[in-house]
A and B are shown apart, each in its own frame.
Chain A
């Protein structure tokens, strides 16, 4: 079942690691150009206000200031900072609700103006000289409040009050009949917090305008090509004259920059156009917290009908998400929430309704998991409630209902592979599942528990939005191989994985493949990195390109060697014949010969991916301090069906990072606001994400169910690490202290209150 490859599946060292380990890696914040100015942004102190007047004359007069930009002198083209608007599939219409600067501000931190000056210090001084008069408008912070009669309206042209775009509706079967058939029905609502990516490199961009009006932007974006399109549209410059590139490294993403969230790119371009010099805009950490997209918080309601033996008969899922002040990904996230929530388990009668709501808070956009972690906290917490009520082991009730290959579901693509059961069994064995419920003897003030959660995800964004990839593979005249793919490198190892795929397909050594990436000028259109897609979708394109090149090589070799193409293969960089072992031609010879005859082997891969479900099961062992409410994760095990691990070391790293982020999501991380709409957690000290001393033991298990639609069987990985962590930990806490939580994070205070209320000693 599991094929052995020579390059794929091996722990090839990532080449970017060497530059990163020696301090030679260039990130946007390191990037410099001659004559470059520094840009700083003036931000709204109000959650909702109209700009009555704005006077920049004093700022402009400050020596060293070369440009000041406001809504009065910048583009009035509406856009959406997320890449989604560039690949929304008709008849859906993208929601475009942002300008670079507007005359209305809609959250504390919203961009009001920007200054470009010869030094950061002068730019900061100039900001203080900009005089703005605001007419304060009424704000609203909670999505449920924002839908009510009388709530302030953030954007005109919404069909329902404060709801960006369309509401998502998914259904299958006959819900009413399904509930009628149930022996028992359960309904619970769960509340999810706002989480922040908190990637180590803040948003930033450097923009330069060419003498021909062309625009070049060095950027932290995860999606150079879609971002290029957004910029071309904003500034009305032909896309062929816009170049977006990473310099080449990005200090983490986790979804914060699928597009140009926080607008460093267009602000830098606007300032560059005004000042006629290159401009660098790099946000400080506080700005990154305040102005770049967060995860959606909100409410998820799940209603499930079951038979007494635990079989699902009906499920209704609802999601109301806090979209923040601008749409960004707020039309897609509720869709993924519902689709992933409903497709994990098999249930013949299902329905989902969900949408986001505008509020005067930092825009919510894409963050690792994208609605799925929110769905799973609700769904898999309720699963344990049902299990206990029916007196069925939580592992077994899940086994009974999980989606199996070939069964019908709400998604428009089939389920062709699943390693979920293997993940569940291996994870259960590793944590010692049968210790559950038996961990506490006597009256210790520290109680232990074990819990589990499972999940699925996607391997790219189709059909939630457009998704396709292109790649070129060219064989150089000495037989070395060049790969061009528009993916970014934000540390996920995808540039290495894609090279492995090309090397494997062409039968050449890994070190003989070089990749050009992250630059729209030298690569064909590629969506970029999001939706856990680069191995699966971008990989499919590079494999197609490699196969196309391989095909041309073999056709040429067949002609030259005088045999049929089907007789030939490429192994160890040599074309060889299966019928005649003496017949051989080095790839380098073929390439040089072809060159002498006026040909280069160029392979093009243009693909629209299908989609495939990765699966995961997580098991947590926790310890709860009854006297303080503090929850400690003693051990967290994550078993993942990744289809095929192209580079197992890289896959483990991605999963481990996801588990740690999941621990933060469940126990400590939350962006809170004060009564004036200001974020409270605007620094690494205030935003409680885990340090090394907060993570005890993480263990990952890789399962390979080999999907037939994925390159070498691969499926998505990147986002899966934290899809099921919240229910796993919350269910473990229940095992420890018998208290069910319907809201995370499980801070010490939240847990303590509950312990006190239940009177547990």
Chain B
């Protein structure tokens, strides 16, 4: 890791981290990104880990979507992320593209990022002067941009509390085809149920409904403390819609259509998250 940070110093403004490179290589070929030094982090042991410490799951920056999707630990503690990592691009892409890279790339609908936001994840960012932890909600600086200075900083891992037995999650992806497709809408939910089937807490992340993945906070408030029911979920889904501002996409649906479909997906995600809780 020290070597990585040294590269920033040796090639000021010219060094870029490459993990999987599935976004970076294309950006370099199109001229969107120019740099003279690529720092390949995929060989660094400490970045390859998926592990749980103190009830938190930590995923290193070199971990691929496939590794997360296949991980038994993730299936058990963060089903939403396992699902999200199984739908990106194609198997070939998932075998190389990293989860952290997906987040750093800053696209609002990035599947892993949406799932991580529903898990209450934060990113650890390292630079020469130290490390800082940033919750995902504060990670974005605008459409496609993050608060990471890519020529001086590296995101080393993402971390989130593991879901417990009374907690469930789900990921709903809506796209024009089943593979090799960017999503029209992604919704990720994680929630915790009390013994009396009221909702202890819930996180709903949705995208692309704004410049960054968004939490449906008002809907979350409505759900917290309430007893689960189909009617409740429908109301919450409509509430979530109020906070969403999808744009017209020339390729992936008008704003109006995405607004019409979003509540359906939110409702389905809530239902699936509850259904995933085994102990009820």
Write the residues of chain A forming the contact surface with B, with a CB cutoff of 8 angstroms: 627-628, 668, 672, 674, 680-681, 684-686, 688, 690-694, 747-749, 752-753, 756
Q: Is the CB of B181 within 8 A of A685?
A: yes
The answer to whether A628 touches B264 (Cβ under 8 A) is yes
- Check B177–A680 contact: CB distance below 8 A: no
Nearest-neighbour CB distance to chain B for A124, whole angstroms, equals: 11
- Contact between B251 and A680, CB atoms less than 8 A apart: yes
- The residue on B at minimum CB distance from A693 is B178
Q: Which chain B residues (174-224) contact chain A, with CB distance < 8 Å?
A: 174, 176-182
Nearest-CB distance from B231 to chain A (Å)?
16
- Chain A contacts for B179, CB-based, 8 A: 691-694
A628-B174, A674-B250, A680-B251 are contacts. A685–B257 as well, Cβ < 8 Å?
no
B250 to A672, Cβ gap below 8 A? Answer: yes
B181 contact set on A, CB distance < 8 A: 685, 688
For residue A672, which residues in chain B have a CB less than 8 angstroms away from its CB? 250-251
Task: Give the chain A neighbours of B260 by CB distance below 8 A.
Answer: 752, 756
- Docked Cα-Cα span, A693 to B261, in Å, equals 22
Q: Name the residue of chain B whose CB is nearest to the CB of A674.
A: B250
Interface readout for B220-253 with A: 1 if CB under 8 Å, 0 if not? 0000000000000000000000000000001101
B180→A691 contact, CB < 8 A: yes
Contacts of A684 in B (CB 8 A): 180
B135 CB, min distance to chain A CBs, angstroms? 31
B71 within 8 A of A: no
Q: With both chains docked as a complex, state the minimum distance between the C-beta of A692 and any C-beta of chain B, in angstroms.
A: 8
B55 CB-CB contact with A under 8 Å: no
Chain A residues with CB under 8 Å of B182's CB are 685
Query: Is B147 an interface position by the 8 A CB rule?
Result: no
Q: When chains A and B are docked, how far (Å) is the Cα of A680 from the Cα of B261?
A: 23
Contacts of B251 in A (CB 8 A): 672, 680-681, 686
26 A-B pairs (CB sep. < 8 Å): A627-B264, A628-B174, A668-B176, A672-B250, A672-B251, A674-B250, A680-B250, A684-B180, A685-B180, A686-B251, A688-B176, A690-B177, A691-B177, A691-B178, A691-B179, A692-B179, A693-B177, A693-B179, A694-B177, A694-B178, A747-B176, A748-B176, A748-B253, A748-B257, A752-B257, A752-B260
Cα A674 to Cα B250 in complex, Å, equals: 8
Q: Is residue B254 contacting chain A, with contact meaning CB distance below 8 A?
A: yes
Assess the A749–B253 pair: CB atoms within 8 A: yes
In the complex, per-residue mask of B28-60: 1 if CB is within 8 Å of any chain A CB, else 0:
000000000000000000000000000000000
Residues of A within 8 A of B261 (CB): 627-628, 748, 752
Q: How far is the CA of A680 from the CA of B252 in the complex (A)?
A: 11
- CB neighbours (8 Å) of A681 from chain B are 251
The 10 closest A-B CB pairs, nearest first, are A693-B178, A691-B179, A627-B264, A749-B257, A688-B176, A694-B177, A693-B179, A680-B250, A628-B261, A694-B178
Interface SS of chain A? loop
- In Å, the complex CA distance between A119 and B261 comes to 49
Question: In the complex, what residues of A have CB within 8 A of residue B178's CB?
Answer: 691, 693-694
A752 proximity list for chain B (CB < 8 A) = 257, 260-261
- Residues in B neighbouring A693, C-beta threshold 8 A: 177-179
Chain B residue nearest to A749 (CB atoms) is B257
Specify which chain B residues have a CB less than 8 angstroms from the CB of A627 in the assembled complex.
261, 264
Cα-based distance from A520 to B260 in the complex (angstroms): 58
Docked complex Cα distance between A686 and B174 (Å): 15
| Complex CA–CA separation, A684 to B260 (angstroms) | 27
The distance from the CB of A647 to the nearest CB of chain B, in whole angstroms, is: 31
Q: Which of B4-46 contact A (CB under 8 A)?
A: none
Minimum distance in angstroms from B102 CB to a CB of chain A: 16
What 8 additional pairs, Cβ within 8 angstroms, besides A694-B179, A747-B176, A753-B257?
A680-B250, A680-B251, A681-B251, A690-B177, A691-B177, A691-B178, A693-B178, A749-B257
Whole-angstrom distance between the Cβ of A679 and the nearest chain B Cβ? 11
- Bound-state CA distance A62–B180 (Å) is 39
Q: Bound complex: CA of A693 vs CA of B264, how far in Å?
A: 23
Q: How far is the CB of B245 from chain A (nearest CB, A)?
A: 18
- Residue among B177, B179, B181, B251 with max Cβ neighbours from chain A (10 Å): B177
**CA A668 to CA B252, docked complex, whole Å:** 11
Cβ–Cβ < 8 Å partners of B264 in chain A: 627-628
**B254 partner residues in chain A, CB cutoff 8 A:** 749
Residues of B near A680 (CB, < 8 A) are 250-251
Is A668 touching B250 in the complex (CB atoms < 8 A)?
no
Write the nearest CB–CB distance from A684 to chain B, whole angstroms: 7
In the bound complex, residues from chain B placing their C-beta under 8 Å from that of A688 are: 176-177, 181
> How far in angstroms is the closest Cβ of chain A from B94?
14
Across the interface, name the chain B residue whose C-beta is closest to A685: B180
Residues of B within 8 A of A686 (CB): 251
Compute how far the CA of A261 lies from the CA of B255 in the bound complex, rounded to whole angstroms.
37
Contacts of A692 in B (CB 8 A): 179
- How far is the CB of B164 from the nearest CB of chain A, in Å? 31
Contact with A along B255-280 (1 / 0, CB 8 A): 00100110010000000000000000
In angstroms, Cα B92 to Cα A691, docked, is 14
The CA of A681 and the CA of B257, in the complex, are separated in Å by 20
